[in-house]
Structure 1
Amino acid sequence: MKLNTRRTLLIGLAFFSICAFWQMYDHIIPLILRDTFGVGDSVSGWIMAADNILALFLLPLFGRLSDRTNTPLGKRMPYIVGGTACSALLIGVLARADAPGRFPLFITALGLLLVSMGTYRSPAVALMPDVTPKPLRSKANAIINLMGALGGIYALGAISLLVRAGADGRNDYGLVFFSVAALMVVSIVALAVVVRENKLRRENADTEPEPEQGKGEKLPPEMMRSLVFILVSVALWFMGYNAVTTAYSRYYTAMWDNSVAGAANCMMIAMGGAVLSYIPVGIISSKIGRRRMILIGVATLAVCFALAGLVKTFNLAVYALFVIIGFAWAAINVNSYPMVVEISHSGDVGKYTGYYYTFSMAAQVLTPIVSGWLLEHVGYQTLFPYAAGMVAASFVTMLFVKHGDNRPGAAKNLLEHYDVEE
């Protein structure tokens, strides 16, 4: 059984555009809140948590709704197309609202944009397991995450190259907003034109012996226990990683160097490390197992965050550290979502996708608030120790996960892991 790489790359366009948006959001919105509107770190943390609060409700809701949707476009595609169109328009409004005195407009546009993004993330992610046989989902998820990393790199590159100095001395992010909105529109148009969801779903149903069996049924107790522990693990490592991604631009400019572009470059290097790692991680995971690969990634990430906390002056070694961070995050991300949907019944993929995002987003609701309070009231030096502790805790909980692992037979050579034919 081979993975159709071309098809998976096309399906990954949705996640590509989503990750470009969120990378821009995490990097730019805290700076706008601070520099344009004078919002403090604690309040900024609450605002940055708003997307995750909304996601707690929106992602499971729209995951379930898309499970029950049947249209000529498919189950997931109507949400992907509609959500992207609304989001691109609202990004334009947000760019216009980045000016002193426009805080009510900015917050209103931001709130609507977060709702719009929340309507289609679960459907976009659920599209991959819908059309991919279970044994190939780690490899497919490696490609999906590769696409997501490329989207993040695109956004970071736009920030590094397109941020201009405004007439009032503030940074002008207008071109960055426009470039990301344009990317989202182009990506989803290409996805909608080329990918025929219903056709691909029928083809996958032929390879799955019981495509809809068990829909809505309860899991056996031992599988439920594994599901709970992996979801808790997801929450913990997202608490650590998201604390860094949401505060890193502020940490970098406060502790190391007053340069927005420099902060973007570090995160871009981490993304580069992930990009180089996704495909090898997918292949290695098929040999040693998803759970073991996650444990390697979690241990590596915790050590890297602890080491980053010891760096007092920025130096070139930080770049190497961020490459390793990229690898570690790839090892975790490639395998965690496939483990969750492996436990699910095939007719409930959208629902279990919602569970996955409920726990990841719940963590991201809490962590900007807690880490934001620590940054403001204790100091920026708390960021990396906090992140390392959370990630280390997820290592312990992952030890209790006994289901969701899958080890397909090894291919004879590297190329047989990925098939590019239709």
Structure 2
Amino acid sequence: MKLDYKKTFILGLGFFSASIVWPIYNNYVPIMLEEYIESAALIGAIMTIDNLFAVIFQPLFGSLSDKTNTRFGRRMPYLLIGVPLAAIFCFLIPSAASLASLMTFVIMMNFSMSIYRAPTVALMPDVTPSPLRSKANGIINFMGGLAAVIAYGVGGFLYKSNHAYPFYMASVVMVVALILLYSFIKEPKAVQLEEEEKIHQKDVSKNRSLIFMLFAIFFWFTGFNAVETFFSLYGQYILNIDAGDASILLTSFSLAFLAFAIPAGFIASKLGRKKTILLGIIGALVVFIPLIFIRNQLMICILLVIGGIFWACININSYPMVVEMAPKGGMGTYTGYYYFFSSCAAIVSPILFGWIKDMVGSYEPLFLYACVAFVLAFICMLCVHHGDISKEEMEEEKIKTIAENM
């Protein structure tokens, strides 16, 4: 079996279009809110709307897409509704003339994004054979990382010319991505979703593995989100560097993840997904433990680059493991589970570490906190016994694919 790279890169455009929005949204919407709101805490609360909506609506629309059966497919109707709406409200955000209109556009854009995010991601396992999903997810995440780089780079340049231009760029990218997805991606025929009771009766062990897998996802995103959120303050108060230098240091982590996203999928195809994730967690711990003590910027940069490589091993292979455990016709629902737990971590972790910082009076425990979270993720992963793919299953999938193409 060979991965259809053209189809996979086109699939990645859906993730690309969503990923180009969030850096622009996170960078510039707080500046707009500050014109009307003095409280930083209230601005921060407003900026968590995307994660709250991800927890509430993405599992809902992912599950609904499993049960949808139209001439446009199961997932595509949600893209055809959500993407144009998200593009319109993103386009309108910089034109807001009052707090009420700005909040309306922000809330509606976040809701519209929630409509199509899980169905878009579920398209990948729908059209990609099981053994190739880690490779495909690597490409899709590479596309998402590339979108973030473009959003920061090109978006920053456009923002200097006109504050509205980055939002216009994101809106155009979303519409173009939708046109390409609709034109080139043909969904497989709808399959009937198995009843929840039958799933539970059929394989209790698989359900147990799913629970541990989802908690592993929660814990490693708990560690990652704390570092991502507080590293600039850690740099300022612990490393004695300014926020700009801290941002550059953390960018080395993100760039390493981007560079290793595709190779991480290929490694999993050789070692297996679970082994690759466990290797990634061990590697992340090997990096984060020294960071508890090291204060030298060059050493920190080197370790963060290595950490980004191991983070790719974890992040690229977790979603394919979750959907591997999905019942027939349940890819959207299980995609929703994945985003529910990862989004919960994004909500809980900054609050939890913020509380710890207030208790100890320092940002110094940041990497210790991350290490504890990754250890918990490692323990959970040891209890996961499904979601990988055996050599026998790879051969069966190969024979099945050949037969379908004859």
**TM-score range with shorter-chain normalisation?**
0.7 to 0.9
Work out whether 1:92 is the aligned partner of 2:91. Answer: yes
CA displacement 1:299-328 (0-9 Å, x = unmatched): 222343444454546x34443333223212
2-structure distance, mates of 1:325, 1:162: 31
Q: 1:404 aligns with which of 387, 393, 399?
A: 387
Work out whether 1:218 is the aligned partner of 2:214. Answer: no
> Which stretches in structure 2 are left out of the alignment for 5+ residues?
395-404
CA displacement 1:140-169 (0-9 Å, x = unmatched): 11111111111122222235544539xxxx
Q: Give the equivalent residue in structure 1 for 2:127.
A: 131
1-structure distance, mates of 2:236, 2:88: 31
Q: Give the equivalent residue in structure 2 for 1:415.
A: none
Q: 2:376 aligns with which of 388, 393, 397?
A: 393
2-structure distance, mates of 1:194, 1:38: 47
Higher RCO, 1 vs 2 (CA within 8 Å, ≥6 residues apart): 1
Q: Give the equivalent residue in structure 1 for 2:174.
A: 184
Question: Alpha carbons of 1:154 and 1:342: their partners in 2 closer, same or farther (altered >3 Å)?
Answer: same
- Compute the displacement of 1:234 (Å): 0.7
- Compute the displacement of 1:344 (Å): 1.2
Q: Give the equivalent residue in structure 2 for 1:9.
A: 9
1-structure distance, mates of 2:192, 2:138: 25
CA displacement 1:197-228 (0-9 Å, x = unmatched): 3xxx15xx9xxxxx657454323111111111
Q: Give the equivalent residue in structure 2 for 1:112.
A: 108
1-structure distance, mates of 2:286, 2:52: 29
User: Which amino acid is 1:73 matched to?
Assistant: F
User: Which amino acid is 2:9 matched to?
Assistant: L
Question: Alpha carbons of 1:175 and 1:408: their partners in 2 closer, same or farther (altered >3 Å)?
Answer: farther
- Compute the displacement of 1:293 (Å): 0.8
User: Which amino acid is 1:13 matched to?
Assistant: L
CA displacement 1:98-124 (0-9 Å, x = unmatched): x9xx44443333222211111111101
User: Which amino acid is 1:135 matched to?
Assistant: P
**More helix per residue: 1 or 2?**
2
Q: Secondary structure at the match of 1:237?
A: helix
Q: Give the equivalent residue in structure 1 for 2:254.
A: 271
Q: Give the equivalent residue in structure 2 for 1:352.
A: 334
Question: Alpha carbons of 1:49 and 1:266: their partners in 2 closer, same or farther (altered >3 Å)?
Answer: same
Is the CA contact 1:302–1:389 (under 8 Å) kept in the aligned structure 2? no
Question: Alpha carbons of 1:406 and 1:256: their partners in 2 closer, same or farther (altered >3 Å)?
Answer: farther
Q: Aligned residue pairs: how many?
A: 390
Question: Alpha carbons of 1:213 and 1:189: their partners in 2 closer, same or farther (altered >3 Å)?
Answer: closer
2-structure distance, mates of 1:80, 1:400: 36
- Give the share of equivalent positions with the same residue, in percent: 38
User: Which amino acid is 2:113 matched to?
Assistant: M
Q: 1:295 aligns with which of 266, 270, 278?
A: 278
1-structure distance, mates of 2:368, 2:28: 24
- Compute the displacement of 1:5 (Å): 1.2
Question: Alpha carbons of 1:134 and 1:106: their partners in 2 closer, same or farther (altered >3 Å)?
Answer: same
Is the CA contact 1:156–1:265 (under 8 Å) kept in the aligned structure 2? no
Work out whether 1:334 is the aligned partner of 2:320. Answer: no
Question: Alpha carbons of 1:245 and 1:408: their partners in 2 closer, same or farther (altered >3 Å)?
Answer: farther
- Compute the displacement of 1:94 (Å): 2.6
2-structure distance, mates of 1:58, 1:404: 25
User: Which amino acid is 1:361 matched to?
Assistant: S
User: Which amino acid is 2:179 matched to?
Assistant: V
Is the CA contact 1:27–1:246 (under 8 Å) kept in the aligned structure 2? no
1-structure distance, mates of 2:363, 2:159: 25
Q: Which moved more, 1:377-386 or 1:177-186?
A: 377-386
User: Which amino acid is 1:114 matched to?
Assistant: N
User: Which amino acid is 2:79 matched to?
Assistant: I
User: Which amino acid is 1:92 matched to?
Assistant: F
2-structure distance, mates of 1:14, 1:222: 33
2-structure distance, mates of 1:177, 1:252: 30
Q: Give the equivalent residue in structure 2 for 1:168.
A: none
2-structure distance, mates of 1:29, 1:381: 30
- Compute the displacement of 1:397 (Å): 1.1
2-structure distance, mates of 1:310, 1:91: 43
Is the CA contact 1:46–1:368 (under 8 Å) kept in the aligned structure 2? no
Q: TM-score, normalised by structure 1?
A: 0.81
Work out whether 1:232 is the aligned partner of 2:231. Answer: no
1-structure distance, mates of 2:269, 2:73: 30
Is the CA contact 2:66–2:193 (under 8 Å) kept in the aligned structure 1? no
Is the CA contact 1:286–1:407 (under 8 Å) kept in the aligned structure 2? no
CA displacement 1:219-244 (0-9 Å, x = unmatched): 31111111110001111111121223
Q: TM-score, normalised by structure 2?
A: 0.84
Q: Give the equivalent residue in structure 1 for 2:351.
A: 369
> Which stretches in structure 1 are left out of the alignment for 5+ residues?
166-171, 206-210, 412-421
Q: Give the equivalent residue in structure 1 for 2:160.
A: 164
Question: Alpha carbons of 1:189 and 1:213: their partners in 2 closer, same or farther (altered >3 Å)?
Answer: closer
Q: Give the equivalent residue in structure 2 for 1:322.
A: 304
